[in-house]
Structure formats: C-alpha cells, structure tokens
Amino acid sequence: MDIHNENQQQAQTVDASPFHRGEQELQSRLGLLSKMEVMGKRMIRSYMPEQHREFYAQLPFLIVGSVDNQGRPWASILPVNLGEIVSPTPTRLKIDSKVIKGDPLNDSYHRKNAPIGLLGIEMHSRRRNRVNGYINLQANGGVEFQVGQSFGNCPQYIQHKQFKYIRDAGEQGPNYEKHTFTALDNQTRAMIENAEMFFVASAVKAISNISSEGVDVSHRGGRPGFIKVQGNTLTIPDYPGNNVFNTFGNFLLNPKAGLLFTDFLSGELTLLTGRVELHWEKNTELENFQGAQRSWTFTLEQGIKLKDALPFSADFGEHSPNTLMTGTWPEAVTHTEQAKKSDGWQVFSLVKRVDEAEGICSFYLQPRDNIPLLPFKAGMHLLLKVPGAAGEKSLIRPYTLSSAPNGQYYRISVKHEFNDGVSHYLHHHLQVGGRIELKAPRGGFHIDPTQTRPAVLIGAGIGITPMIAMATHIYNESVRLRQQRLITVIQVSKTTNSRAFHREFKQLEQLSDRQIRYVSYVSKALQGQEPGVEFNGVGRLSTDVYRQILALDDYDFFICGPAGFMQSQYDSLLELGVADNRIFAEAFGPASLHRVARQISGVVENSVVEEGAVVKVAEATQSLVKFSLSKVEQAWQRGDKTLLEIAEALGLAPEFGCRSGSCGACATPLIAGRISYRTIPAAYQADNQVLICCAVPAKGADELVLKL
C-alpha cells in the first residue's frame, strides 16, 4: 500500500476535523471555530451525494485547481462533452475529457495521486459544488478522480450566463495561440479591471489530514471594477461567505494562488500564478468599499494567455442580486474623497414622491452630479436645507433616512407639521426634478446586522422611519451574510390611516419567513376594524403588552417617536428589567430621554456618551471666546449664553438645526481650548469639532478659539 492511501485510511479511522489548521485559525479569529466544526461535519462529506453525482454528469465544463511540477497552484477550465463525466461510485468521478493544449493542468492531470480540486458550477442556475481529492487512475486518455471532500456552495456572486458549444470540447479554435509572460500588459490589466468573475486555486501539502488538505478551487464574483490592478499586483475584496475559509486557510499556510480569467465571447483564457498576502484588517479605502469585509493581494510571478482556446461561448445574462449589493474600487475611491468633504452641502434632485399615509410623504433623493452615494448605516439621519421665507435665512432640519443602504438613493419620509417651514416646503413646493441641499448621513442611532442578539424596533408616528430602514437592512444583509438577526417591529399609530410602511413591513415578514415579525398597535380602531385583521391591538404599549408580545430573551431595544412616548417606553422597559445599555433611542430637538443610568447634574466634557459613562466637567469661571475666521471675540463668564448664542449676538450666522445637540448641524472646528456641554449631545461630532448650540468654555480654558 502506498503512503498516500495509508494516510487516507488512517484519517478515516478517527473523528478528524473537516478543516486543517489554517482554516481553523481564521475561524478562531472570528470566534466561529466551535460553530464551524459542527457545521463542517454536517455539510462536508467524504463522498458525493446522488444529486451532486448527477449534477457533475451534465456540466459543460469543470473548473480545476492543480499544482505544477514547481509547486505553483493553477486554476484551469476543463471543457466537457456530454457523457464524458460519470460517477461509478459516490467516491469516484471518471473524466474522459481532454485538457486544453498549453494549460499547466497537463503537468498533473495524468500523474497518479496528484492532488486536484474541482468546482462544478452552473451559471444559469447559479448552482455550484466543490470536490477536493486526487487523481487515482488513468483511464483511456481520461482520469479517475478519488473524492476526499465534497460539499455544496451558496449561489452568491455568480453572474447569470447561458453557454452554447461551437465545436467539440477537445478541440481548440483555428486561431489558437499560447503566450507566456511575467508582467501584465495594458490590455490584460484592462481585462482584469473589467472582469466580473474569476476562479482561484490554492493548495496545502497533504501531510496530517489528507481529506482536508490538498488543492481547492473557488469562484469569485463582483461588479466590473471589483479588482484593482496596480502594476503586477491585484487587490481583491473579500465578501461575506460561509466562514469556512477554504481558500484563505490555504493562503495562510501557503501564500500562493492560481487565478483564471475567462473571456467567454472570444474564447481566450488568462491563467496567472503568484504570491498572495492577506489583509485581515480594513483600511480607509476598504471601509468605503460596499460589502467588503477584508481584502487580499495577488502579485504575478508567471502568466499564460491561451487565445481561441474555449470550444463554447456564453452571453452575459444578469448580475447576481448579491453582486448588486457590492461596490467597486473606483466607487470606493470616490466615497473616500466624498467622506473628506462630508461636512459640506451637496446638491440633490428629487426623483420620486410617494404618499405613505395620512400626512406622510416619502422623498427619493439622488445626487445631481451623479456621484456615488456615501455608504451609511440604517437608522442614520441627514441634514436638509430649504429656502426660508423672503428675506430670511435658510432653514435646516435633520430627517432620519427611511431607506436602507442601497447605493441608489436616499429616502426621507416626512410628516407635514403645522408651523414648520421645512415640512411645509417639502410637501407643498418640492416637486420631482427640484433641487435640494443636504449633508451626508450621520448619527449614532443604527443597528448592526451581524449581531446575534435579537432586537425589538419600536416606532410611534413618524418615528417609524428609522425602523423601516433598519428592518429592510437586516433582511438585505441576511440574504448577503446568510444569517438572520431576529427582529420584532412594533409600530404604534393613531389609526391605520396614519400608519406608514405597513405593506413594506408585512412583505419583510413574509420574505424573512417571520424572522422579522411585525406587530401593529393603533390608538383608535376605525369603524368596522377589529384586532387580528388590520392590526394586532388597540391602546397603549405597556409592560403587560410587552410580556404578551415578546418571549423571554435578551433583546436590544430601539425606540423612536414623540418625547412622551419614548420616555414612557423607556420607563416600562426598565420596569421589565431591561438594562439601560440595551435601550437605544433617537430623538431630535429637546426630546432626549431622561435616563436613570445616564442622568447627571452639572456639565460634561466633549465626548460622545456611551453606556452611561459621563465625566463631569465644570464650566469656566471666565474665558475669552475667539472666532478665527470672522476675527471677532467676546469675553465670557460662567452662566453666560452658549457659543452659538454668542456668535449670533456678534452678528455671525452659523448653521444650526435643533439647538439641543441632536442634529449636528452646528458642528464647528475647535482650534484651541476646551469646552463643556450643558446638555448631553446626541449627535455625532468628529474629532476636534464642537456642537456649539449646547457648548460653553470648560474650566481651565482661559481662551477658546473656534473656526467660525
């Protein structure tokens, strides 16, 4: 018995892990080792189930990962005629097709015990399965493949294509030509930058666990522009997957890869092999790359171009829905540049208006200059500026986004309020095609879709706007991440006529198979309406209602609505034993919660309040306040007005919205000195910025200098 087969038998006699140490290391970094061990033993088999055997038998090609005589991984494509793949047993595949002339796969395809990785992928159905193993026997010009591991893959990021043969699978075209190179030329760089998919092979020498070690080949997809090319180095984002880390685990132990780019129109193949480096932590540019969790770089060592090599062609159908949730490197660069200017006003156009409920209208806004939208988190708000009355300054208001991040538009949903000039302008003057100024989304009220703790979203009246954004985002991310955070949405409205987004919530409930649960309470039932049909209950939310709605669990609670409503719900949740740091609230104007754990007297320092930790800072006895751009100054004594009020008294016109630290419109750079907040600011402010509407000089700040 040869050593290879002996090792295999030994591995099968113990309850071996389906993962090698490289895969386990990366799973451990994310705290997923135990979970993936259980999942892996369930999903990764040492044989091919019947449906996989049938699947491979009808494929027009296989993607193959191999290692050449110099130990370099290569990814290849193996065209197949119908009937050339059969599975005589669950652990064997017979493949009678010929390797494309000039492909490095020829080095190992007929070498007994050569490790091989196979990927069966059907692009019109987005179905794919992987099999890793080794070459067992030669068979009449073909090979017999011995299964080591077999497992299915998700359909994410696979673009729809339909294939048609133009000649026999074993033949190359009349213009076949092979070209080798060690540097990328301009044409190849452009091809890679415009690619919407490629295949990657990786390898670990089989030593301790022959079933989990060996060669693996995988698919990577994205929108054109998802690969950045600089010289001979490619930078590739890593999107959420199944956390198995087959490819990355191999990279960790053996930082080499083979890449395959296929041109299904011309029949040209580009095969690359080279070195790999993992970038586990995000950098500034990757932070602005939509959908990316981390990245890796590939540096070319050798390349092969095979012209007119494929016997079939394929037309592009459409992108995978998951692909459309991702970004590109040009967009990431634009987002990074935009983020540097996010404090400035941007001009947007109204592209659609939708009446949502009685007195509530949604406004869909897109950049007027067609620049990409800045990424944001569901629940954030933006600042809107509209013209004031004749002879008066513009009006600024914060509005929570009611749309989940989608890269296409910002949606705000506004209730028409009497005596409010901004909502009146939006409802009665802003029409489709009209322009409006806004500042990029901001704020600390948002939800994390990767958190496993269930959440309850409670919205009353127009306070339901962040909740529809959060619920939609949770569902979208569940599709992309393939994990669902359990959500209960409780909507409170006066009547069903004033209830916005009811249909959207019901649709999310259906699409998520009730992983997102929707509960509607109204203050008054209209004639002919009864609980259980149009809504779930009548009356106020109380501790008894919460006990009826919610199972015993550890929840995060998100609340938004009128001040009195939010305070009563906060108090009820505390009464139920919910910890203060599990309750998150959004409010503009003077509607902030009076928190038990965060309630203070005196003043606080310039910091965002987290988990109730507030440091008291006394106000200065006296100070000199200077406005550097205006070259004016004002003496200040304890008890005097806020910095915003001082600026206004001096004839300056700083921007502001809420005057309570909620919206962030008055954020002003602090050049020198130290400030104290009289009320706890809810709005986010960047480093070295001050919300002047509620700030005064702090003790020890004999001089305070603001860039205003």
What is the per-residue pLDDT across 430-465, written as a single tens digit (0 to 9) for each? 999 999 999 888 888 899 988 889 999 999 999 999
Which positions ≥6 away from 695 have C-beta within 8 Å? Answer: 606, 642, 643, 675, 676, 677, 678
Tell whether 288 and 232 lie within a shared domain.
Answer: yes
Select from 391, 418, 442 the last residue of a domain.
442
**Which of 319, 86, 365, 113 has its CA nearest to residue 215?**
113
Q: Is residue 62 part of a domain?
A: yes
Give the residue ranges of DSSP H helices in 254-377.
284-287, 329-340
Tell whether 58 and 187 lie within a shared domain.
Answer: yes
Is pLDDT larger for residue 285 or for residue 345?
Answer: 345
Supply the range of the domain harboring residue 624: 604-706
- Bridge-based pairing of strands 115-122 and 92-95 is unpaired
Contact 624, 633 (CB under 8 A): yes
Rounded Cα distance between 402 and 507, Å, is 16
| Mean pLDDT, residues 127-148 taken together | 85
- pLDDT, mean over the chain: 86
Q: Is residue 68 part of a domain?
A: yes
pLDDT digits (tens, 9 = 90+) for 377-410: 999 999 898 988 766 778 888 899 999 998 889 9
Q: Is residue 302 part of a domain?
A: yes
pLDDT digits (tens, 9 = 90+) for 627-640: 988 888 888 888 88
Select from 442, 472, 491 the last residue of a domain.
442
pLDDT digits (tens, 9 = 90+) for 52-90: 999 999 999 999 999 999 999 999 999 998 889 999 999
**Residue burial 473-484, b: 16+ Cβ < 10 Å; e: rest:** bbbbbbebbeeb
Q: Is residue 274 part of a domain?
A: yes
**Which of 403, 410, 484 has its CA nearest to residue 449?**
484
Q: Is residue 290 part of a domain?
A: yes
Q: Is residue 595 part of a domain?
A: no
Q: Which of 536-545, 601-610, 645-654 has the highest mean pLDDT?
A: 536-545
Dihedral, CA of residue 17, residue 21, residue 24 and residue 30, to nearest 10: 170
Dihedral, CA of residue 189, residue 193, residue 198 and residue 204, to nearest 10: 60
Tell whether 368 and 276 lie within a shared domain.
Answer: no
Q: Tokens 């895969």 — which residue?
A: 23
pLDDT digits (tens, 9 = 90+) for 279-314: 988 777 788 888 888 999 999 999 999 999 999 888
- Bridge-based pairing of strands 312-316 and 256-263 is unpaired
| Mean pLDDT, residues 673-677 taken together | 89
CATH code of the domain covering residue 110? 2.30.110.10
Confidence of residue 326 (pLDDT cuts 50, 70, 90): confident
Cα angle 80, 81, 86 (rounded to 5 degrees) comes to: 80
Tell whether 554 and 610 lie within a shared domain.
Answer: no
pLDDT of residue 465: 96
Burial of 616 (0-12, 13-18, 19+ CB in 10 A): exposed
Total residue count of the chain as it appears in this document = 708
Select from 408, 442, 476 the last residue of a domain.
442
Q: How far is CA 369 from CA 198, 337, 366, 384, 435, in A?
A: 33, 15, 9, 18, 11
| Mean pLDDT, residues 475-495 taken together | 90
Tell whether 371 and 319 lie within a shared domain.
Answer: no
Tell whether 9 and 121 lie within a shared domain.
Answer: yes
CATH code of the domain covering residue 559? 3.40.50.80
- The count of domains in the chain is 4
Q: What is the DSSP string of 46-114?
A: SS--HHHHHHHHT-SEEEEEEE-TTS-EEEEEEE--TTSEEEEETTEEEE-PPPPTT-GGGGTTTSTT-
Rounded Cα distance between 487 and 508, Å, is 11
Tell whether 158 and 56 lie within a shared domain.
Answer: yes
Tell whether 309 and 351 lie within a shared domain.
Answer: no
pLDDT of residue 1: 30
Q: What is the pTM of this model?
A: 0.74
CATH code of the domain covering residue 385? 2.40.30.10
Tell whether 20 and 156 lie within a shared domain.
Answer: yes
Which region, left, alpha or beta, applies to residue 631 given φ > 0 means left and ψ of -120 to 50 means alpha?
A: left
Residue type, 627: F
Q: How far is CA 176 from CA 100, 198, 311, 576, 609, in A?
A: 10, 21, 11, 74, 67
Q: Is the pLDDT of residue 471 over 90?
A: yes
Is pLDDT larger for residue 220 or for residue 689?
Answer: 220
Tell whether 502 and 397 lie within a shared domain.
Answer: no
Q: Is residue 593 part of a domain?
A: no
pLDDT of residue 587: 66
pLDDT digits (tens, 9 = 90+) for 234-243: 999 998 876 7
| Mean pLDDT, residues 491-514 taken together | 95
By mean pLDDT, which of 70-74, 282-286, 514-518, 567-571 is the weakest? 282-286
Q: How many CB atoms lie within 10 A of CB 523?
A: 13
Q: Tokens 């415009």 — which residue?
A: 194
Q: Which of 100-109, 242-251, 649-658 has the highest mean pLDDT?
A: 100-109
pLDDT of residue 603: 37
Is pLDDT larger for residue 525 or for residue 255?
Answer: 255
Tell whether 289 and 346 lie within a shared domain.
Answer: no
Tell whether 40 and 96 lie within a shared domain.
Answer: yes
Q: Is residue 231 part of a domain?
A: yes
